[in-house]
Structure 1
Amino acid sequence: MSHRFISPRTASKQVLEAIVRIMGGANNIIVHGFNGIIIQWSAGCENMYGWMCDEAVGKVVDDLLSTQFPEPIEEIHRQLRENNSWQGEIIHRHKDGYDVYVTSRCMVVKPSDGEAVIIQTDNDISDLKRAESEVNAREAHLRSILATVPEAMIVIDERGLVTSFSTAAEKLFGIQADDICDRNISNLMPNPDRDAHDDYIARYIRTGERRIIGYGRVVTGQRADGSKFPMELHIGETTANGERIFTGFVRDLTGRYKIEEDLRQAQKMEAVGQLTGGIAHDFNNLLTVISGNLEMIEAKLAEGPLSPLLREVQEAAGDGAKLTEQLLAFGRRQPLNPTLADLVQLVSSFTDLLRRTLGENIDLKTVIVGSNHNVLVDSPQLQNALLNIALNARDAMPRGGSLTTEIKRVYLDADYAKMYPQVRTGNFVLISVTDTGVGMSDEVKEHAFEPFFTTKDVGSGTGLGLSMVYGFVKQSGGHLQLYSEVGRGTTIRIYLPWVQAAATKADIADTRSDSRDVLPGGTETVLVVEDDARVRRVAVARLSSMGYKVIEASNAQAALEVLAEDQTIALLFTDIVMPGGMTGHELAKEARIVRSDLKILFTSGYAEPGLGGREFATPGSWLRKPYTAKDLAVRVRELLD
């Protein structure tokens, strides 16, 4: 609203009436006094408000038209008396009851023969107001979209200047809209794209050659802090007021690239795990033959100069078995015996051993957060995993440092699972092991869990420690993360599924062989099923030397035929993974149909999840290759007795 000073004019009533008659047909003119009583009412007002002249004259104008002023009427009258004029936007009510938006201009005229009057000229702007309201609504809608759309949206003009910058774009690029609007979009690009951007637009406007416009492509963006990130860019074009404008939709690809990289890594680890697991399985068969024959030779050979050599070979075979155990752990094919355990008690009881192992120059700390840290886990395997982590930490701190173990319960939600597709949501117990060592480079972190990868000197490590930890955690239904930075140490986080109730199943007794010279034996009939002829011969020889009557079969089908013919068989000793289309597990099911009282002992070079001693094997009915004669003798008698 503006004010303009107009000098008072003097005119007779007749002159005013003539002015209204002459101009009133084309203009909406009302003449009234300061008291608001209408003196003159033009034909234009009749068309605009619906009131005829004889209906309006003599009425108070603000009552007749239900006037809504932008400011108090007293203030308007004051301005009229001081400036002789006023103008502004007001709202009148039509005779039919709807609002009429007008711009009103009032001027004070002092007739020579009477009281001062106000000549009011009104112009209908209702259509303009409606259009303005629609524009405001569309702008509000657009602002709402800009504020809520998950993908960043940026609008630029043909000079490359940013005209609109959404809320998502502010978060993505780390810059406020006010700081980037009216600046060149190239400020959000790294070189060489930054320097070349304006040429792209100019070339397109000049030649129509499209480089990005109308196509989706992956480019590199640059945040306000200078960091770069991959993004998917889609650009559309339109024309407004004769000028081109370009709208770009930007999607951050950082998360997708990370998920894809994690998936590739998981697939690679799975492939390597299958390979190493298969190798370990075959190698365990060889070790079974080697150690078994060595045992039988040692039993028949008197003590003499060859005895130390035999024991040394046996020890080497034992070391080979430990290596294959680590390979099986990485391939998630080791037999696990999970029992309910409180991780706090488990780690606390293990702390003294760790302290002696790590030495005095490493400060060992344990932090417990909360309570009820129950998990279903193979306790010895978990302690072995923690020991491997601790030994790696010790080697990373040659001058000493600190090793902190923290245990707490956490909940992994859907957002976390989106980042790591192999992770399921739910409650977990987290074991974080943090050292202050030399840390790992990105290249070392990429290969840290791969078998035989090591940064230690030749002969100082097998490279199987962390790979074993990885396989054990995955096989236990958990999740493993590695955080490390050169010069700042390493943190390894183990997530194990939390369980609420206490286990009712007793721990499996340790049936490892003792030092007795005489092996327990018997006279029962045992059916040995093994596809590897050398392994089968060793098993048959061992059992025969213990007094058992032994029948052998090379596959499951042959074993079923023997079982159908011989009702004296007391125990079935079978490998799990065999050729011929029937596994040891399937053989056991069929055998139990024929002989419900039959005792069954399983063995394998590896135990696949769902097969190995976890879902179908009863306590004591599992024997992992390579096994000793004492292991076999004790386990057979436990089942038969």
Structure 2
Amino acid sequence: MLEHAISETDLDRIVRMFDGSNLIVHGFDGVIQRWTSGCEQLYGWSASEAVGKVVHDLLDTRFPADVEELRTEVRNNGSWTGQVGHRRKDGARLAIVTRWTVLELGDPDTLIVQSNNDVTLMQQVEDELRERQAHLQSILATVPDAMIVIDDKGCIASFSTAAEQLFGYSAHEAIGQNVSMLMPSPDREAHDGYLDSYIRTGRRRIIGYGRVVVGLRKNGTTFPMELSVGEAVAGGRRTFTGFVRDLTSRHRIEAELRQSQKMEAVGQLTGGLAHDFNNLLAVISGNLEMLEARLAEPGQLSLLREAQSAADDGARLTSQLLAFGRRQALAPKELDVSALLGEFSDLVQRTLGDSVELRTIIPGRRMSAMADKAQLQSALLNLSINARDAMPAGGRLTIEISGVEIDSDYAGMYPAIRPGRYVLISVTDTGTGMTSEVMERAFEPFFTTKPTGSGTGLGLSMVYGFAKQSAGHLQLYSELGEGTTVRLFLPRADTGKDSHPDEQQAKDAPSLGTETILVVEDDARVRRVTVGRLLTLGYSVIEATNGIDALKELEAGHDVALLFSDVAMPGMNGDELARKVRERWPRVKILLTSGFSEPHAAEKEIQAGAGWLKKPYTASEMSTRLRLLLDARHGCDPA
């Protein structure tokens, strides 16, 4: 800026000296008085065309603020610098960094000298970089694999959205920390040594290929993961990018597949043995019958009949083995399962005794399935006896019949079941429950936790075989101290006789929403399906793997409209979480879900107004239940 007055001659000399630069001289009224050759090349107008024009009109200037405000700043401060938009003679737009400087001529006239620099190309490059960065961020925010970038010291430089969800740390918490925080011992202590060794020697352990390792979440839980690491060197700086895939679901599916294959092998073995044993029993029983016809002495006949009774027991035992091995001949026909249970309930109650209350929940319409009536009755009786034995001090047994539709999302979590319509028979007791170890072996033939002589260990295995042979499915849910639910899925017999308006309503388009739902589920597969369904319905979703993380999400101030939580979770269960949420955030609606037919562990919260949704559920059932809760007035019981 020139701080003293100059003459017109001096101004002309200055303009000629900087003729190659992009200088424009104009008054506060904007009328152009000087226009250099540099401006002619930049804008396309000659000096004769430009001089006398109002500069802002000629160049169609786009200011970052009101032009009068800028002129006031120039008068007060003597200069102004900023970025504006200009138009060339050919119509092209330019990004210009301009500096305005006040110039005094020694008389009342005051001029402004514009010094303009074309930054259009730089602006385009910056815009492209921002666009690419936004595109990259959108990819990283949506891919299921987590991405973590570290420097050569092992410090985290980037932490994707998927990494936040997987490990439980926010990007703000993770960036700048050593990546070993995501590893359990002894990998945590050894990591920096591995990294240092690679940088010094080039000896690779993980870099360049993937391997299965163990990850450590913020809440202290570990999980299997596949880690692939890539290396990049730019500007003398070395970075490592790790892609992490959670293998929890895959390992669980593989374990279920191995268990299924094991049960298949055991079934083939037991079926074969039972078939051969039946042949032996046929020989023994036949000869005993012939001997009985020839003996006349009462004492000998008594011994013979005892032997015949033992042979009959053996035949029944082999029949159960054949059922498990799926070699028992069935006589399937269309059955109204609701009617069958109504007829059969008296026998079940007599089997249970006076100390166990029997509760049956039967829909008021026909529920048809293709099944062997005798085998289904036997299966229900076996499940009832098992439930009775699990309640030595008495309790309640609930048998519920319902219609369900398994979609591809749910079937994807359980390879043994196919999508379709099923009659679901849920048998729930309030007994002692099972440990995870017992649950893993519950369907194995001859496995029992009962005292010696109190059972063969074939009850559940027979039901398992019956379900498989009937093209159905069997699921087991149990919690120590809470009870057990066995769920028998039998394919629906679609004859058209069991249609009902409620079922048509269930097939209607699910209800949509825009509220924020906090999903709390420790099973990663179930959580992914639930979140996917909610997003499809239009809801915003926040995920948590346990009760502690769910409370932290609420404490963070998220505008959560509804808590959708599993009941059976490690640590803080869904009932305890619901109670804390109800006390601290009373306006947050609560929907609890579980594989149990009855909400034993959450009865108080259900009574306090929480909703209940039994697994498995369809997207339509879930959306309907959500809207009932969200649309209800605060404090009303939506049940």
State the TM bucket, normalised to the shorter chain.
0.7 to 0.9
Offset at 1:473? Answer: 0.8
- Partner residue in 1 for 2:396: 402
Q: Deviations over 1:125-159 (max 9, x none)?
A: 11211111121121111112112222222222222
1:146–1:153 CA contact under 8 A, matched in 2: yes
- Partner residue in 1 for 2:324: 330
Offset at 1:426? Answer: 0.6
Mapping 1:168-179, distance limit 5 Å: 168-179=162-173
SS of the equivalent of 1:438 reads coil
- Partner residue in 2 for 1:113: 107
Q: Which of 1 and 2 has higher RCO (CA within 8 Å, sep 6+)?
A: 1
Q: Which amino acid aligns with 1:14?
A: T
- Partner residue in 2 for 1:14: 9
- Pairing partner for 1:427 from 417, 421, 426: 421
Q: Which amino acid aligns with 2:226?
A: E
Mapping 1:206-225, distance limit 5 Å: 206-225=200-219
Offset at 1:303? Answer: 6.1
Q: Deviations over 1:466-491 (max 9, x none)?
A: 11111111111100111222222222
SS of the equivalent of 1:11 reads coil
- Pairing partner for 1:183 from 174, 177, 180: 177
Q: Which amino acid aligns with 1:342?
A: D
Q: Deviations over 1:522-577 (max 9, x none)?
A: xxxxxxxxxxxxxxxxxxxxxxxxxxxxxxxxxxxxxxxxxxxxxxxxxxxxxxxx
SS of the equivalent of 2:5 reads strand
Supply the distance in 1 between the matched residues of 2:364 and 2:316 (Cα, whole angstroms).
36
Matched, 1:135 2:129: yes
Offset at 1:370? Answer: 7.0
- Pairing partner for 1:249 from 243, 248, 251: 243
Matched, 1:457 2:437: no
- Partner residue in 2 for 1:271: 265
Q: Which amino acid aligns with 2:136?
A: L
Q: Deviations over 1:294-336 (max 9, x none)?
A: 2233234346332222221211111111101111111111111
Matched, 1:101 2:95: yes
- Partner residue in 2 for 1:355: 349
Offset at 1:384? Answer: 1.1
1:8–1:84 CA contact under 8 A, matched in 2: no
SS of the equivalent of 2:17 reads helix
Instruction: Give ranges in structure 2 of 5+ residues lacking alignment.
Output: 498-639
- Partner residue in 1 for 2:227: 233
Report which stretch shifted further, 271-280 or 368-377.
368-377
SS of the equivalent of 2:409 reads helix
Mapping 1:531-546, distance limit 5 Å: none
Supply the distance in 1 between the matched residues of 2:364 and 2:212 (Cα, whole angstroms).
46
- Partner residue in 2 for 1:316: 310
Offset at 1:201? Answer: 2.0
Supply the distance in 2 between the matched residues of 1:284 and 1:207 (Cα, whole angstroms).
69
Offset at 1:111? Answer: 1.3
- Partner residue in 1 for 2:500: none
Offset at 1:61? Answer: 0.9
Supply the distance in 2 between the matched residues of 1:409 and 1:432 (Cα, whole angstroms).
11
SS of the equivalent of 1:218 reads strand
Supply the distance in 1 between the matched residues of 2:235 and 2:57 (Cα, whole angstroms).
44
Q: Deviations over 1:29-48 (max 9, x none)?
A: 11100111111112221222
Matched, 1:341 2:335: yes
**Aligned residue pair count:** 498
SS of the equivalent of 1:428 reads strand
C-alpha distance 81-383 of structure 1, shift in aligned 2 (>3 A): same
SS of the equivalent of 1:306 reads helix
Q: Which amino acid aligns with 1:442?
A: S
Instruction: Give ranges in structure 1 of 5+ residues lacking alignment.
Output: 1-5, 504-641
2:357–2:396 CA contact under 8 A, matched in 1: yes
- Partner residue in 2 for 1:23: 18
C-alpha distance 215-470 of structure 1, shift in aligned 2 (>3 A): same
SS of the equivalent of 2:90 reads coil
Supply the distance in 2 between the matched residues of 1:442 and 1:249 (Cα, whole angstroms).
32
Supply the distance in 2 between the matched residues of 1:370 and 1:163 (Cα, whole angstroms).
61
- Pairing partner for 1:162 from 156, 164, 187: 156
Supply the distance in 2 between the matched residues of 1:241 and 1:402 (Cα, whole angstroms).
71
1:342–1:374 CA contact under 8 A, matched in 2: yes
2:338–2:363 CA contact under 8 A, matched in 1: no
Supply the distance in 2 between the matched residues of 1:167 and 1:399 (Cα, whole angstroms).
51
Greater radius of gyration (CA): 1
Offset at 1:167? Answer: 2.6
